Amino acid sequence: MTGNKKGFLIAGLLLLALSLSMALLPGIFTSYGQKEMFDAWLMPSKEHLLGTNSLGYDIFTELVYGAGDTLFVGLLSSVLTMIIGSAVGVLAAQRGAAGAFFSGLINIFMLLPRLIALIVLAAFVGQSRASLVLLIALFGWAGTARTVRAQVQRIKAQPYIEACTVAGYSRMHTALRHIVPGFSDVLLSRFLLGVNSCIMMESTLSFLGFGDLYHPTWGTMVNFAYKRGAFMRGAWNYILPPGISVMILSLAFYFISVYIEHRREVL
Amino acid sequence: MNKHLRNILIALACFILVVILNFLLPRMLPGDPVAYLSGFAEEDMTPAKYEYYREALHLDEGLFRQFLYYLKSLADGSLGYSFKKEMIVSDLIKERIGATLQIALPSLVISSGLGLVFGLYFGMKKDSKEDKVFGVTNMVVNAMPSFLIALVLLAALSFKLEIFPYSGLSKAGMFPGRSGFLLDRIHHLVLPVLTLTLGVLPSRYLMVRNNAAKEAGEKYVLYARQRGLSERKIRYLYVFKNIAQPFITMTGMSVSLCVGGSLVIENIFSINGMGKLLTEAVYTLDYPLMQGVLFVSTGVMVIAVIITDVLCILADPRQRREAAYDRK
């Protein structure tokens, strides 16, 4: 392997820091309020970096305030994904019927047409931020679980796990204290990729109009722009930036995960 | 147990899970199942109408009997009744699935093909400069949500350059049989298919590339090179054979990805396919129709998995001959 991929890490962290500071301190990026009205459909100018939308809101301000909600949904659903994924992954690595059952479950969820199932379920349970996070997590854990299962099976074959059994530790203790720390680095890179796919999933769903309208994310913004006719007017300054922001955020997580993956390989 | 047989069983289990989910969702969630299954809000119905729906949906009978009725509706191919559109669900889907497949199948073929060509090429040159550059490009495309790809392509190719139409599948007044219909259809399909292809290509490419990179260091490649075979021959006649299995499996898995991706794209390009049908159903709260779409797309996925697993067995001479011995 050549190069240490530090460049990826730095680029990723910079992009992430930018998004995070937008989320936490929107005030330093824009001096306008979220609901401050100007003339509608202004083109980009010095006063309005990206122009204004159909209602006269400053698009750049909207973008800055959308960062928090996008990150919130992405991070929270990814954390949930990771928890469900590692629990099922550890269970699936057991021998016997329980292991077979959970392995089967992983494989079934790998196959499910995720997007369609999510759309149908979102329609049934209603649109809210909480249900969106929950649904994305419920359908996104399979990949993590599969990786965890492989890792646990690898670790279990190691002599130190045998030593734990000989020393008479309970299975719970061995699993939590000796097996889980063994794959925590894999979990970290899965987590980063998970944030990536959760954000993508969320923005696609929000774009289709299944998002929480009270907490507009970038996906919801594109949906609004599309519905309000930005597309037909050729107002690309309204419809493209939120999508590009999703791309940049997702690249940030991707870059960091490339570095971590690489470091793991070298070790 | 044979890996491929197991895959087929898993696909069938997945299918059954969706059937059960479809059945239980309207009955178990808080809220009146009559409202879910008819699609009308309780307040909008007269008591007589309410009773009629209750009767028509067999909601007074036991859960098990209801499940049998549901299975019957699947078995006779009607998939239930949409009270909102006053049509049988399967008829509605039949009308629309053609458009979805016209986008999904070409994208499936093109993205798998390109994934194979690029993946093999750069995988064999792993860690070279060009591999890295292509890898980063791939990453960037992968980070783009499919609606962004669609919007960028639309902005550039149909609004700026005005080469391609931005909506529908045919020009106004075009119908099958008229001269130029096929050309017009292809002209309309270019952008949606390109969008979907770009959307699924990165993961396909990465998978082929990583598999090919593993093979690149093998001795048989070195030997083939020593014999003076061209790189192209090595790639397609030697390495491809060894990565054929994961490649076929992956192609099968991407069928559901393409169908799912088509749902998003249809909404942007105003194409009357299954995706448009699903969003319409969601906006009008037509639950039976939504369930029908989920059922059909899961069905397509299961069929794809079964076909690819049979292909995998046929493509592998070891398994093919083993099966032949068993028959003797």
Percentage of chain B exceeding pLDDT 90? 20
Distance CA A224, CA A207 (A): 8
Closest CA to B304 of B116, B108, B110: B108
Look over chain B and give the mean of its residue pLDDT values, rounded to a whole number. 85
| pLDDT given for residue B323 in this prediction | 64
Look-up: residue for tokens 């194409």? B271
Reply yes or no on whether the pLDDT at B328 is more than 60.
no
Say which range, A44-48, A95-99, A208-212, B288-292, has the weakest mean pLDDT: A44-48
Contact assignment for A247 to B145 by CB distance below 8 Å: yes
Say which range, A2-6, A61-65, B265-269, has the weakest mean pLDDT: A2-6
CB pairs under 8 A between A and B: 128
Asked if B139 has any chain A CB less than 8 Å from its own CB, the reply is yes
- Averaged pLDDT, A54-80: 87
Reply yes or no on whether the pLDDT at A186 is more than 70.
yes
Asked if B39 has any chain A CB less than 8 Å from its own CB, the reply is no
- Averaged pLDDT, A27-49: 76
- What is the token pair recorded at B166? 């931005």
Q: For B143, which of A114, A239, A247 is closest by C-beta distance?
A: A247
- Averaged pLDDT, A31-43: 75
- Whether residue A218 contacts residue A243, with contact meaning beta carbons closer than 8 Å, is answered with yes
Distance CA A248, CA A15 (A): 7
- What is the token pair recorded at A41? 């459909």
Tell me, what amino acid is at A47? E
Asked if A111 has any chain B CB less than 8 Å from its own CB, the reply is yes
B88 φ, ψ to 5°?
Answer: -75, 135
What residue numbers bound the domain in which B124 lies? 96-285
Is the Cα torsion angle A139, B16, A121, B169 positive or negative in sign?
positive
Reply yes or no on whether the pLDDT at A46 is more than 80.
no
Contact assignment for B145 to A204 by CB distance below 8 Å: yes
B42: pLDDT confidence band, cut at 50, 70 and 90?
A: low
B43: pLDDT confidence band, cut at 50, 70 and 90?
A: low
- Averaged pLDDT, B26-55: 74
Chain B, 207-246: which have a CB under 8 Å from a chain A CB?
A: none
- Whether residue B277 contacts residue B292, with contact meaning beta carbons closer than 8 Å, is answered with no
Residue B170 lies in a domain: yes
Residue B234 lies in a domain: yes
| pLDDT given for residue B325 in this prediction | 67
DSSP per-residue letters across A36-63: ----TTPPP-SSSTT-B-TTS-BHHHHH
Contact assignment for B155 to A124 by CB distance below 8 Å: no
A2: pLDDT confidence band, cut at 50, 70 and 90?
A: very low
Optimal mutation site among A5, A120, A222, interface B, most CBs of chain B within 10 A: A120
Q: For B151, which of A121, A243, A248 is closest by C-beta distance?
A: A243
Residue B213 makes CB contacts below 8 A (sequence gap 6+) with B123, B124, B126
| pLDDT given for residue A1 in this prediction | 42
Tell me, what amino acid is at B250? M
Distance CA A189, CA A260 (A): 6
More confident call, A8 vs B321: A8
| pLDDT given for residue B196 in this prediction | 94
Q: Spell out which residues of chain A touch residue B97, defining contact as CB-CB under 8 Å.
A: none
Distance CA A225, CA A214 (A): 16
* 3-state class (DSSP) for residue B87: strand
Q: Spell out which residues of chain A touch residue B301, defining contact as CB-CB under 8 Å.
A: 111-113
| pLDDT given for residue B326 in this prediction | 64
Asked if A138 has any chain B CB less than 8 Å from its own CB, the reply is no
Q: At what angle do helices A236-266 and A59-92 cross, to 10 degrees?
A: 40
Beta-bridge mates of residue A107: none
- What is the token pair recorded at B83? 């009270």
Beta-bridge mates of residue A58: A52
Is the Cα torsion angle A93, A94, A96, A102 positive or negative in sign?
negative
Say which range, A76-90, A97-111, B46-60, B139-153, has the weakest mean pLDDT: B46-60
More confident call, A72 vs B1: A72
Digit-coded pLDDT (tens) for A115-152: 888 888 888 887 788 888 999 999 989 989 999 999 99
| pLDDT given for residue A40 in this prediction | 73
Optimal mutation site among B1, B5, B6, B14, interface A, most CBs of chain A within 10 A: B14
Percentage of chain A exceeding pLDDT 70? 98
| pLDDT given for residue B110 in this prediction | 95
- Averaged pLDDT, B221-230: 91
- Whether residue A7 contacts residue A260, with contact meaning beta carbons closer than 8 Å, is answered with no
B65 φ, ψ to 5°?
Answer: -60, -40
Residue A28 makes CB contacts below 8 A (sequence gap 6+) with A21
What residue numbers bound the domain in which A41 lies? 2-266
Residue B62 lies in a domain: no
Domains: count for chain A: 1
| pLDDT given for residue A3 in this prediction | 61
Q: Spell out which residues of chain A touch residue B155, defining contact as CB-CB under 8 Å.
A: 234, 236, 240
Q: Spell out which residues of chain A touch residue B297, defining contact as CB-CB under 8 Å.
A: 113, 116
Assign residue B254 the CATH number of its domain.
1.10.3720.10
- Averaged pLDDT, A153-171: 88
Reply yes or no on whether the pLDDT at B1 is more than 60.
no
C-alpha dist (Å) from residue B256 to A141, B260, B268, B303: 18, 6, 19, 10
- Averaged pLDDT, A21-27: 84
Distance CA B310, CA B314 (A): 6
Residue B301 lies in a domain: no
Distance CA A21, CA B84 (A): 47
What is the four-CA torsion angle of A25, A29, A35, A39, rounded to 10 degrees? 180
Digit-coded pLDDT (tens) for B68-89: 888 888 888 788 788 778 888 8
Domains: count for chain B: 1
| pLDDT given for residue A14 in this prediction | 92
| pLDDT given for residue A263 in this prediction | 83
| pLDDT given for residue B23 in this prediction | 85
Say which range, A173-182, B31-40, B126-135, has the weakest mean pLDDT: B31-40
| pLDDT given for residue A161 in this prediction | 87
More confident call, A230 vs A100: A100
Reply yes or no on whether the pLDDT at B57 is more than 80.
no
Distance CA A85, CA A104 (A): 14
| pLDDT given for residue A79 in this prediction | 94
Digit-coded pLDDT (tens) for A208-253: 888 888 888 999 988 888 888 777 777 788 888 999 999 999 999 9
Residue in B with minimal Cα distance to A5: B132
Asked if A100 has any chain B CB less than 8 Å from its own CB, the reply is no
Contact assignment for A115 to B261 by CB distance below 8 Å: yes
Sequence-ordered strand ranges (E) for chain B: 81-82, 87-88
Q: For A113, which of B21, B147, B260 is closest by C-beta distance?
A: B260
Assign residue A210 the CATH number of its domain.
1.10.3720.10
